Amino acid sequence: METVSKETTLWKKLLETTEKIRNYQSRAISKGKAPDITMTQMQIMGCVLFSPEKSVRVRDISEELGITPGGISQQVDTLVKMGLLERKPDEKDRRAVCITLSEKGEEINEWVDQFLTNLFQKLLADVPEEKRWVFAEVLDSMYQTLEKL
């Protein structure tokens, strides 16, 4: 019988957990308890929200998320049509366009922040405080390693 490595067990658990979070969000959307936006769209809006100028180019979002500029452009188009993002001329480069959150986009981002905060409070409710910090350190370490790859 083949044994499964600890690493395989961990990555499977990570993927399964991520998928369950996506399913939880999908159920909330179908029940009308969440805005109808995907996790990728949330990430795009987060890139704008957390940028120092609250304004980014499609290229910057593409690099941040590791998605092709064409893929990001399509998602941005959808978010603009939904009224969540706006395209504005770049003040530094007239040929470029910057992406910013609309007022409605800021409201949705506040909702998403609260939604995810509440979800993680539920997910971590039975996890002792010291283990939460170990978990955060492990995630930080993984993130730093991925940045180097």
CATH number of the domain at 89, please.
Answer: 1.10.10.10
> Would residue 3 count as lying in a domain?
no
In-domain check, residue 53: yes
130, part of any domain: no
The answer to whether residue 139 is domain-embedded is no
Question: Cα separation of 36 and 16, whole Å?
Answer: 22
Residue 106 forms part of a structural domain: yes
* CB atoms inside a 10 Å sphere around CB 97: 14
Question: Which of 60-64, 92-96, 110-114 comes out lowest in average pLDDT?
Answer: 92-96
Q: What is the pLDDT of residues 9-46, one digit of tens each?
A: 999 999 999 899 888 888 888 888 778 888 889 899 99
Mean pLDDT within 1-7: 80
Is 105 inside any structural domain?
A: yes
Q: Averaged over 67-75, what is the pLDDT?
A: 92
The confidence score (pLDDT) of residue 38 equals 85
pLDDT of residue 25: 84
What is the total count of domains within the chain?
Answer: 1
Q: Are 100 and 85 in contact (CB under 8 A)?
A: yes
pLDDT of residue 103: 94
Residue 50 lies in a domain: yes
| Residue whose token pair is 């083949």 | 2
Range of the domain at 45: 15-120
What's residue 4's pLDDT?
80
For 67, phi and psi rounded to 5 degrees? Answer: -115, 145
Residue position matching structure tokens 């959150």? 101
Which residue would you say has higher pLDDT here, 90 or 118?
118
